[in-house]
Amino acid sequence: MVEHFFQCPHCWEEISMLLDPSIAYQVYVEDCEVCCNPIELYPRFDNNELVSFEVLNLDQ
Ligand SMILES: [Zn+2]
């Protein structure tokens, strides 16, 4: 697993989550550990390297 840091789209705090680099396309829904709002995450891996990471604010 790799730890990835990103900004919460709700509170703009930097948070981290653990990602599995063996799965190329993933969708996660996580609650921000700071403000507890839901965030949808789209990490994309290629050869175990994180090549893109999109964050969606589920409240929008
Ligand atoms: Zn937050």
The pTM for the full model equals: 0.83
Q: Say what the pLDDT of residue 58 is.
A: 82
CA distances 34 to 11, 15, 26, 38, 53, Å, are 8, 8, 23, 11, 20
Q: How many domains does the chain have?
A: 1
Closest CA to 41 of 24, 54, 57: 54
12's tokens: 């703009």
CA of 25 to the centre of ligand 1 (A): 24
Q: Say what the pLDDT of residue 59 is.
A: 76
The residues that bridge with 45 in the sheet, in sequence order, are: 50
Domain range spanning residue 26? 2-57
Tens of pLDDT, residue by residue, the chain (60 residues): 999 999 999 999 999 999 999 999 999 999 999 999 999 999 999 999 999 999 998 876
Q: Say what the pLDDT of residue 60 is.
A: 60
CA of 20 to the centre of ligand 1 (A): 22
CA of 60 to the centre of ligand 1 (A): 14
